[in-house]
Amino acid sequence: MIQAIGLTSKPRRHAPPAVADLTFDIPPGEVTGLLGPKGSGKSTAVRLLLGLQPGRGATLVDGCPLHELARPARAVGAVLGDVPGHPGRTARSHLRMLCAAHGLRAARADELLEAVGLGAVADRRLGTYSLGMDRRLAFAAALLPDPHALVLDDPVRDLPPREAAWMHALVRRHAAAGGAVLLTGRDAGALARTADRVVVLADGRIVADQSAALFAGTRLRPHVAVRSPYAQRLAGLLAEKGAEVVATSGSRIAVYGATSAAVGEVAYRHGILLHQLADESAAAAAPEDERAAEQAPYDARRRVPLPAPRSRPAPRRTPHRPLHPVRYELRRCFGVRTPWPTAAAALAASVVCTLLMARGGAAHTSPLRLLSGWPAAIPLPAAAVGAGALGALSYGQEFAYPALTPGIGPEPRAARLLAAKLAVSGALALGLAALAALLNCAALRLTLGPGHAPDPAALSATTAGWGALAVGCAWTGVFAACAFRTTALGLSAVLSVPLLVAPGVRALLGGKAGRQFLDAGGALWSLLTGAPQADDRAAIAALRSAAQPLFVALALSLSCLVIAYVAGALRGRRRGRGPTPVRSAGAVGIEGEEG
């Protein structure tokens, strides 16, 4: 049982709230329809119900506030529109990625793909899916954690009748198995056919809450349903007699303002064959071809019955984080092709830069620049920029294609997921730096001979410095994309370190104190660049390395981004996402959910 109590959105400027004081129940074993025209507040009500929009009110699942459940997605599955998946990812890859987030076995994805009729097209890219296939995938994603309840925001919008009928049949099967369903829509007839109870919204308020049968009998226009191979000819004859005729398909018409006896008499007088003649309301049973749409058109012969939802006790809340974050991040990263051309482009640019340095004379070039392919004319090595791009993609794609839904699913900014992204991006950065060093050394050996190529194994400090620079760029991209929510701004933050922050650090350290600070650690920078000092000056060497403007700028940028992340997390925890408590007799208030 789901109870919505006093749901009220935040007031808009110079306008009343989009929805106000909505109270209704979603009982198990039934489909509850939420009906209203465009702008009536249906979507706002659904988002308030799920805690995805700030406002007031309470949402209780078997008496427990929704935001206190350990795994809300296992209690309530939601379809809020099209699947926001990466267009280059396959449906199978998308669902397996979500399986890692929900702590499920990968085979669960294959089961649901078969159940929604997408088994035959599971390995096609999402960008090639039709609207109907996309909605089926949305149902599969909602059913993945085996929720007891479904909340569906107009899932049949813009779909053809056959697909819409399949969606409604799926909803009815879920309710028949004991699940609770909330279904919104604008079509009164279709909703009355599917739902057991209809709640009508107008201007953000409930104006009716009736059983579907009572709603159909009191609020829908009766009509005469006619099916004939000569339907268009009959429609013209009835229109001449003043009846209102609406064509519902090529051979079917709905006649308003006339009785079935009158329609049959006109057909008899003009010799028109009738296959159907019945008095109906708009909530009457769907046509036979729509009922047959329960068979999935994409994989009909292999359709698997949907599993019955299982009721489970409501555990108390823990932070909404992916259960297998590293597995999720690996599937997110390598489920699309983007990382491969990014890494290939970075390695190719690194080799080109190394060859240009060799052509211009590499005798006086430091080993660090030779290993990394870093000419003095560019602000960062190409491989470091590639590592920063891979880091920025980790959160840029997360927000551009939000597979994780805060509030009812794992939180995309959860600390465990951030740690997984840092670990994966750091490993990729080290791999990219190692490959770049090997390729650059091979290019130098081919062009200048073995004596002019640095040895990464012998230059351990230089190699370590190059790896640290690549990892620092990757982590800067991760934190910046998390803060700015886009890949472009994440990569811009990486490039701003040598272009903006490092010059500022140089200017700040340009005085006497700065020169003393730089001079005190000259040894390690000389060590990194091929001119090692005495062993007893290792401590001073470490200080010198930390004092280099680029490394100081990178550390400063990372520190600021970490502080911004922590501040955002604390602010989100304090502000919350869910509705604030509502004080009413018998109502249980809920507070904002932690971020």
Question: pLDDT by residue (tens digit) across 105-132?
Answer: 999 999 999 999 999 999 999 999 999 9
* Spatial contact of 140 and 96, defined as CB atoms under 8 Å apart: no
Q: What is the pLDDT of residue 282?
A: 53
- Least confident span in 48-52, 94-98, 410-414, 584-588: 584-588
**pLDDT number for residue 463:** 85
Per the prediction, the chain carries an average pLDDT of 81
Separation CA 360–CA 342 (nearest Å):
27
What are the structure tokens assigned to 115, written together? 């159940």
Residue 473 has φ and ψ, to the nearest 5°, of -65, -40
CA distances from 511 to 222, 505, 526, 543, 544 (A): 88, 11, 22, 18, 16
User: Sign (positive/negative) of CA torsion 322, 323, 326, 329?
Assistant: negative
Distance of CA 334 to the CA centre of its chain: 16
Asked if the model's pLDDT at residue 585 lies above 50, the reply is no
- What pLDDT is attached to residue 572? 59
Distances from the Cα of 254 to the Cαs of 11, 92, 117, 290, 335, in angstroms?
43, 42, 32, 16, 49
Considering only 363-377, 456-470, 569-583, which range has the smallest mean pLDDT? 569-583
pLDDT at 505: 74
- The structure tokens listed for 539 are 């401590």
pLDDT at 322: 60
What span, in angstroms and rounded, lies between the C-alpha atoms of 65 and 450? 69
Calculate the CA dihedral of residues 211, 217, 219, 220 and round it to 10 degrees. Answer: 120
Q: Regarding predicted confidence, which is higher, 439 or 280? A: 439
pLDDT band at 250 (very low <50, low <70, confident <90, very high): confident
Euclidean distance between CA atoms 383 and 429, whole angstroms: 8
% pLDDT > 70, the chain: 80
pLDDT tens profile 532-575: 444 434 444 444 444 466 777 788 888 888 888 888 777 655 54
Distance CA 288, CA 248 (A): 13
User: How far apart are alpha carbons 405 and 77 in whole angstroms?
Assistant: 11
Checking if the pLDDT of 303 tops 60, the result is no
Residue 161, Cβ density class (10 Å: 0-12 exposed, 13-18 middle, ≥19 buried)? middle
User: Please, which residues bridge with residue 185 across strands?
Assistant: 35
d(CA 60, CA 344): 51
Residues 290, 263: contact at Cβ < 8 Å? no
* Cα separation, 124 vs 90, whole angstroms: 5
Radius of gyration of the chain (CA): 32
Q: Coil, helix or strand for 78?
A: strand
Q: Which of 561, 424, 418, 414 is nearest to 493 (CA)?
A: 561
Query: What average pLDDT does range 84-104 have in this prediction?
Result: 92
pLDDT reading at 349 higher than 80: yes
* Whole-number pLDDT of residue 509: 66
Q: State yes or no: pLDDT of 511 exceeds 70.
A: no
Residue 499 CA neighbour count, 13 Å, CB half: 10
Per-residue pLDDT, averaged over 503-510, amounts to 74
Task: Indicate if the pLDDT at residue 371 is higher than 60.
Answer: yes
What are the C-alpha distances in Å from 494 to residues 158, 326, 389, 459? 43, 24, 8, 26
Residue 546 phi, psi (nearest 5): -70, -20
Query: Token pair 């640019």 is at which residue?
Result: 349
Mean pLDDT of 479-491: 92
Structure tokens at 193: 């056919």
Pick the residue with more confidence: 362 or 262? Answer: 262
pLDDT at 573: 58
Q: Residue 243's pLDDT is what?
A: 87
Q: In this model, does residue 576 exceed pLDDT 70?
A: no
Mean pLDDT of 443-458: 78
**Percent of the chain whose pLDDT exceeds 90:** 43
Confidence of residue 406 (pLDDT cuts 50, 70, 90): low
Q: In what order do the strands lie in the sheet with 2-9?
A: 22-26, 2-9, 55-61, 64-65
Q: Are 171 and 181 in contact (CB under 8 A)?
A: yes
Q: Residue 227: how many CB atoms within 10 A of its CB?
A: 17
134's tokens: 């996309």
Predicted pLDDT of residue 462: 80
Q: Give the pLDDT band (50/70/90) at residue 359.
A: confident
- Residue 311's pLDDT is 45
What is the longest distance spanned by two Cα atoms in the chain?
Answer: 114
Measure the CA–CA gap between 4 and 199, rounded to whole angstroms: 12
Q: What is the pLDDT of residue 538?
A: 42
The neighbour count for residue 455, using CB atoms within 10 Å, is 12
Joined together, the tokens standing for residue 261 give: 């006896």
Domains along the chain with CATH numbers: 2-6+29-83+131-219+293-302 (3.40.50.300), 223-280 (3.30.70), 325-575 (no CATH)
Who has greater pLDDT, 397 or 84?
397
Q: What is the pLDDT of residue 540?
A: 43
Average pLDDT over residues 158-185: 92
Q: Is 50 exceeded by the pLDDT of residue 391?
A: yes
Instruction: Output the six-digit token pair for 65.
Output: 């506030």
Q: How confident is the model at residue 301 (pLDDT cuts 50, 70, 90)?
A: very low
pLDDT attached to residue 51? 87
| 465: amino acid identity, one letter | G
In the three-class reduction of DSSP (H, G, I as helix; E, B as strand; rest coil), residue 20 is classed as coil
Q: How is residue 14 annotated by DSSP?
A: T
| Residue that wins the pLDDT comparison between 92 and 324 | 92
Of 81-85, 164-168, 393-397, least confident by mean pLDDT is: 81-85
Q: Is 349 left (phi over 0), alpha (psi -120 to 50) or beta?
A: alpha
The pLDDT of 214-221, averaged and rounded, is 75
Indicate if the pLDDT at residue 286 is higher than 60.
no
Say how far residue 442 (Cα) sits from the centre of its chain: 42
Mean pLDDT over 176-186 rounds to 93
Report whether pLDDT(78) > 80.
yes
